[in-house]
């Protein structure tokens, strides 16, 4: 308790909590699934609807800059993930961007036919690889536990999840990229669980392609548009299959044939969800102003304290995340046979985490709006629920559509 208070008193990010809506009495440990709402989003969305849409109507494509938002916001995100201006576009969903990135990677290695991925990947990643395989003959998906040792000269594209969605384990993306390049392959980084919460060094690692979402640690809102990164050196050579008019070099020339934009806009497809874009602006503004090293240091401090307190007070749970803070992202997972009802009992008491199959209790620690005292309080509630078997109550056993 004293330790947590001292850590909070010295926390350089503590003031940021005021920038977010956090419901009274809630300890929100699910920012790794849907980030909290920045207060500024309310004003921006109100302006986007009340003025830009209601009053500006179609003129807002030019006057409010709607048409350029994918690259304007992409440039704002770029430094957060170690990219340069012109290498990132905000658009579509992560799954759709992954489809584009997979084909883009294949377009850079036309003589190769293997997509290599981890069998522990987030499921949509592998479903999208299956979709690519179904759209083109002769391709093959190879699933492995350890990417580093499996990359060989047959591999065209390696797909790696920077942070494992179940365990929070960090993948050695830099080493995987270096090995892939030695073997002549290209790599796609899935940054869903790292963008906005860890320093990501795309250009420093010589990365090729990356995708990720903005509704987790970037606090863009439910269904916020995702991002796609392509290294500048690949842009002139790469192609993607969703060749819609927004990716055309001259969309308003209305020419009959498709001619891709020369830059990152070639990854766009069609009209974008502008209201969702405008909501995302608030989260981007907050994160773009921060030192990612400080964000990382606080997340390590929060997760380490959580592990220490749970292991001391709730021995029935087994740690499912790396113990070494440098080896995990901003989430901590524990396993328990009855993980689902325990998570429901926690939510009923205001401690919001989530459940992942088959037996994982998952907790995300956004350093922007959580304190060390939140961690202390959350563990006290968890301990109470376990000691009193509250989770056995019938109302905690029924599963909702979203877990």
Quick check: 369 binds ligand PLP (CB under 6 A)?
Answer: no
Confirm or reject binding of residue 84 to ligand PLP (CB under 6 A): no
Catalytic residue among 100, 166, 179, 216: 216
34 binds ligand PLP (CB under 6 A): no
Window of 3-11, 186-194, 268-276, 308-316 that interacts with ligand PLP by CB under 6 A: 186-194
Is residue 125 within the footprint of ligand PLP (CB under 6 A)? yes
- Specify whether 39 is catalytic: no
- Nearest to ligand PLP of 7, 105 (CB atom): 105
For residue 72, the tally of other CB atoms under 10 A from its CB is: 15
291 catalytic per annotation: no
Q: Please state, in angstroms and rounded to a whole number, the distance separating the CA atoms of residues 147 and 159.
A: 9
Q: Which residues pair with 111 in a beta bridge?
A: none
Answer yes or no: 261 catalytic. Answer: no
Residue 60 parent element (H or E): helix 60-63
Task: Report how many residues bind ligand PLP under the rule CB under 6 A.
Answer: 13
Residue 213 interacting with ligand PLP (CB under 6 A): yes
Q: How far apart are CA 378 and CA 375, in angstroms?
A: 5
Q: Which is nearer to ligand PLP, 161 or 301 (CB)?
A: 161
Under rule CB under 6 A, residue 192 binds ligand PLP:
yes
Mask for 218-247, x = binds ligand PLP (CB under 6 A) = --------x---------------------
- Using CB under 6 A as the binding rule, whether residue 95 contacts ligand PLP is answered as yes
Q: How far apart are CA 218 and CA 33, in angstroms?
A: 11
Q: Under a CB-based contact definition with an 8 Å cutoff, are residues 115 and 156 in contact?
A: yes
Q: What is the dihedral of CA 323, 327, 332, 338, to 10 degrees?
A: -70
Supply the Cα-derived Rg of the chain in whole angstroms: 22
143, containing H or E segment? strand 140-144
Would you say 13 and 298 are in contact if contact means Cβ atoms under 8 Å apart? yes
Q: Which is nearer to ligand PLP, 13 or 88 (CB)?
A: 88
The residues near 49 (Cβ < 8 Å, ≥ 6 apart) are 275
Per the annotation, the verdict on 374 as an active-site residue is no
Q: Which CB, 165 or 340, lies closer to ligand PLP? A: 165
Q: Considering the rule CB under 6 A, would residue 190 count as an interface residue with ligand PLP?
A: yes
Using the rule CB under 6 A, which residue among 27, 31, 52, 94 binds ligand PLP? 94
Among 28, 103, 165, 217, binds ligand PLP (CB under 6 A): 165
CB of 354 to ligand PLP, least distance (A): 11
Query: Beta strands 20-21 and 331-335: pairing type?
Result: unpaired
Q: Which residues contact 6 (CB under 8 A, 6 or more apart)?
A: none
Bridge partner list, 354? 362
One of 93, 107, 243, 335 touching ligand PLP (CB under 6 A)? 93
Q: Which residues contact 312 (CB under 8 A, 6 or more apart)?
A: none
Q: What count of Cα atoms within 13 Å lies in the side-chain half-sphere of residue 165? A: 23
Assess whether 216 carries a catalytic annotation: yes
Task: Work out how close the CB of 94 gets to ligand PLP at its nearest, in angstroms, rounded to a whole number.
Answer: 3
Catalytic residue numbers read 122, 190, 215-216, 362
Q: Binding residues for ligand PLP, per CB under 6 A? A: 93-95, 122, 124-125, 161, 165, 190, 192-193, 213, 226
């Amino acid at each position: 308790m004293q330790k947590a208070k001292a850590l909070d008193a010295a926390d350089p990010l503590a003031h940021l909590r005021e920038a977010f809506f956090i419901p009274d009495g809630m300890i929100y440990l699910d920012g790794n699934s849907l980030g909290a709402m920045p207060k500024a989003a309310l004003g921006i969305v109100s302006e986007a609807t009340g003025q830009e849409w209601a009053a500006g109507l179609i003129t807002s494509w030019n006057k409010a800059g709607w048409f350029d938002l994918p690259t304007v916001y992409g440039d704002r995100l770029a430094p957060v993930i170690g990219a340069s201006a012109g290498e990132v576009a905000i658009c579509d969903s992560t799954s759709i961007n992954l489809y584009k990135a997979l084909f883009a990677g294949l377009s850079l290695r036309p003589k190769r036919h293997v997509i290599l991925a981890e069998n522990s990947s987030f499921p949509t990643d592998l479903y999208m690889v299956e979709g690519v395989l179904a759209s083109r003959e002769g391709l093959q998906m190879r699933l492995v536990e350890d990417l580093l040792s499996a990359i060989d000269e047959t591999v065209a594209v390696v797909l790696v999840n920077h942070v494992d969605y179940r365990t929070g384990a960090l993948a050695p993306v830099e080493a995987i990229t270096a090995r892939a390049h030695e073997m002549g392959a290209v790599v796609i980084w899935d940054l869903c669980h790292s963008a906005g919460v860890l320093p990501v060094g795309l250009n420093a690692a010589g990365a090729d392609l990356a995708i990720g979402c903005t509704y987790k640690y970037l606090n863009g809102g439910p269904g916020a548009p995702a991002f796609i990164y392509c290294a500048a050196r690949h842009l002139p050579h790469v192609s993607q299959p969703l060749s819609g008019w927004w990716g055309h070099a001259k969309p308003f020339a209305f020419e009959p044939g498709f001619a891709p934009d020369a830059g990152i806009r070639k990854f766009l497809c069609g009209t974008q969800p502008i209201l969702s874009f405008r909501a995302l602006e608030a989260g981007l503004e907050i994160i773009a102003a921060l030192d990612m090293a400080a964000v990382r240091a606080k997340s390590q401090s929060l997760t380490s304290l959580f592990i220490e307190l749970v292991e001391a007070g709730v021995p029935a749970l087994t740690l499912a995340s790396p113990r070494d803070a440098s080896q995990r992202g901003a989430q901590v997972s524990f396993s328990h046979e009855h993980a689902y009802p325990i998570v429901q009992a926690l939510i009923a008491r205001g401690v919001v985490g989530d459940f992942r199959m088959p037996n994982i209790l998952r907790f995300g620690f956004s350093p922007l709006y959580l304190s060390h005292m939140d961690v202390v309080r959350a563990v006290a509630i968890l301990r109470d629920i376990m000691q009193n078997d509250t989770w056995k109550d019938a109302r905690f056993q029924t599963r909702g559509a979203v877990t």
